[in-house]
Amino acid sequence: MNTDEQHFIDTIDAIARDEQQADPRLEEVRHFYRSTMVSERLAHYQKYNIKKAYKLFLRNTHEQRPVAYRRYVAWAAAAIFAGFIMMIPFMSDNKPSHEVMAMLEKHIPALTDSVPVITTSTGKVIMLDHADDNMDVAGTSAYVTESGIAMNNSDKEESLLELVVPYGRQYQIALPDGTAITLNSGSKLKFPNRMDLSRRVYLEGEAYFDVKKTGRPFKVSTSAGTITVMGTTFNVRSYDANHAGVALYSGQVMFSAGDNDYLLAPGEEVVKEGNDITIQPISDPRASAWRNGLIVFRNQRLEAIMTEIARIYGVEVEFKADVRDIRFSGECRRTETVDEFMQKMRLTDEFDYEINGNKITIQ
C-alpha cells in the first residue's frame, strides 16, 4: 500500500472517530456525516449491521488477496464512503448521541484484569469484557466500549440492574435518559432498565454525574443521604455512611439526610463526618482530580491514603509498622504503577514497604 492510499484510509478512520480535519473539504464531509440528515436519508439501511459487515469485508479481502490487490480495496472503500457517507461505525436506532459517544470513547487505563459486571434482577451476571455495539442486557439493548456502556430505554417491566466497578478500574455509563455517570474504582450503581417511570439510582462508592435535564427530578440514594437534582453536574463520594461528600459544579442540588435538607450552589460541597454535616466551598481536590487521571491527597493519614490506593490499583494493604496516623500531601498520575507510587512515598523516609504479588506490606 502506497503512502497516498494509507493517508486516504487514515483520513476515513479519523472522520469516523469525529476528529477535526485540516482540509476544509474534509471538514465539510465530517460535519455532513454528523448531521441528522444523513441518518434520515439512510434510515432504510439501519436493518444492516454496517460495522460488522465492513469489518468482515476488510478481513476477508486482506486474508484472501495478495498485496497487489490492496489498492483496489482502498478504492472500494472510497466508493463505500461516497455512497454511504461513512455509515460506519454506527447507523442504527441504538446509536448514542455525540456527547455520549465522546464520553464512551475516552480511554481509561485499566490497572487490573478484573472487569466491570452488570447483574440483573434475576441474578444473571453480564461481564463487560469486550466492545459490542449491540449487547443485550436483560432485554435492553446497549452499546459497549472498553471504557463504558450506553443503555437504551427498555419496554420491559421496570427492574433494577446493578453495575459493579472492581478495584483497579474506572467505568462510564450513559443511562436511558441521557444522564452520563463516571464511576470510580470499587463503586456500585443500581439503576432502572427504563427511566420513563423512575429517575432514581442507588450509589455505593464515588461517581461524577452529568444529569440530563428532562423536567423530572433525578435522585441519587446513598447510605449517607439522598441527592435530588433537575439537571446539573456534581461529584458524590460515599463509600460509607459516616464519611461522605457531594461537590456541585453546575446547577443546583438538594442533599437530604434524616430530617434535614441542604441546598447547594455551584462551587459548594456538603461534607458528612459521622453525624456532623457542613456546607463549605469545594476544598477536596479528589472531587474532580480522579476523573482527570490524578491521585491527589492533602494532609491525609497514611491509612486513608493506602485505603484509596487499594481501591485504585486493586491491591491488598497490610500495616506491620505503627505509621497509620502519619499525614502526607502529594499527587501523581493514575497511569503510574503502584510500585512507582510507593517509591515516591518512601522518599519521605517515614516508612518502608514490600510488594509481594498483589499485596503491599507497610513496615
- pLDDT at site 162: 97
Sole residue written with cell 465530517: 30
Q: Are strands 316-319 and 359-362 parallel, antiparallel or unpaired?
A: parallel
Q: State the CATH class of domain 293-362.
A: alpha beta
- Extents of the domains making up the chain: 3-84, 98-286, 293-362
- pLDDT at site 310: 94
Distances (CA, A) of 150 to 36, 95, 143, 172, 185: 19, 9, 5, 8, 19
- pLDDT at site 95: 64
Confidence of residue 43 (pLDDT cuts 50, 70, 90): very low
Query: What DSSP state is assigned to residue 38?
Result: H
Confidence of residue 66 (pLDDT cuts 50, 70, 90): very low
Task: Look at residues 160, 227, 213, 147 and name the one whose alpha carbon lies nearest to residue 188.
Answer: 160
| Nearest-10 Cα torsion for 126, 221, 193, 97 | -90
Query: What DSSP state is assigned to residue 324?
Result: T
Query: What DSSP state is assigned to residue 139?
Result: T
Query: What DSSP state is assigned to residue 89?
Result: S
Which triple of cell numbers denotes residue 141?
Answer: 439493548
**Residue 280 in this model has a pLDDT that exceeds 90:** yes
Residue 209, burial from CB neighbour count under 10 angstroms (0-12, 13-18, 19+): buried
Instruction: Return d(Cα 45, Cα 88) in angstroms, integer.
Output: 11
Residue 299, burial from CB neighbour count under 10 angstroms (0-12, 13-18, 19+): exposed
Listing DSSP states for 234-270 in one string gives EEEEEEETTEEEEEEEES-EEEEETTEEEEE-TTEEE
Identity (one letter) of the amino acid at 109? Answer: P
**Reduced to 3 states, what is the DSSP secondary structure of residue 226?**
strand
Which triple of cell numbers denotes residue 212?
Answer: 440530563
- pLDDT at site 204: 97
Question: pLDDT exceeding 70 applies to what percent of the chain?
Answer: 74
Identity (one letter) of the amino acid at 351? Answer: F
**Reduced to 3 states, what is the DSSP secondary structure of residue 29?**
helix
Instruction: Return d(Cα 135, Cα 271) in angstroms, integer.
Output: 39
Q: Taking all residues of the chain, what is their mean pLDDT, rounded to a whole number?
A: 80
Listing DSSP states for 289-351 in one string gives HGGGTEEEEEEEEHHHHHHHHHHHHT-EEEE-SS-TT-EEEEEEETTS-HHHHHHHHHTTSS-
Q: What is the pTM of this model?
A: 0.71
**Reduced to 3 states, what is the DSSP secondary structure of residue 288?**
helix
Which triple of cell numbers denotes residue 280?
Answer: 463549605
The neighbouring-strand residues paired with 138 are none
Which triple of cell numbers denotes residue 264?
Answer: 447547594
The neighbouring-strand residues paired with 297 are 330
Average pLDDT over residues 230-234: 89
Question: pLDDT exceeding 90 applies to what percent of the chain?
Answer: 49
Instruction: Return d(Cα 207, Cα 177) in angstroms, integer.
Output: 17
**Residue 255 in this model has a pLDDT that exceeds 90:** yes
Confidence of residue 139 (pLDDT cuts 50, 70, 90): confident
Confidence of residue 9 (pLDDT cuts 50, 70, 90): low
Q: State the CATH class of domain 98-286.
A: mainly beta
Instruction: Return d(Cα 12, Cα 124) in angstroms, integer.
Output: 39
| Alpha carbon distance, N-terminus to C-terminus of the chain | 58
Q: Do domains 98-286 and 293-362 have the same CATH topology?
A: no
**Reduced to 3 states, what is the DSSP secondary structure of residue 232?**
coil
What stretches of 85-193 show up as alpha helix (H) in DSSP? 98-104
Query: What DSSP state is assigned to residue 347?
Result: T
Instruction: Return d(Cα 44, Cα 36) in angstroms, integer.
Output: 14
Instruction: Return d(Cα 317, Cα 353) in angstroms, integer.
Output: 10
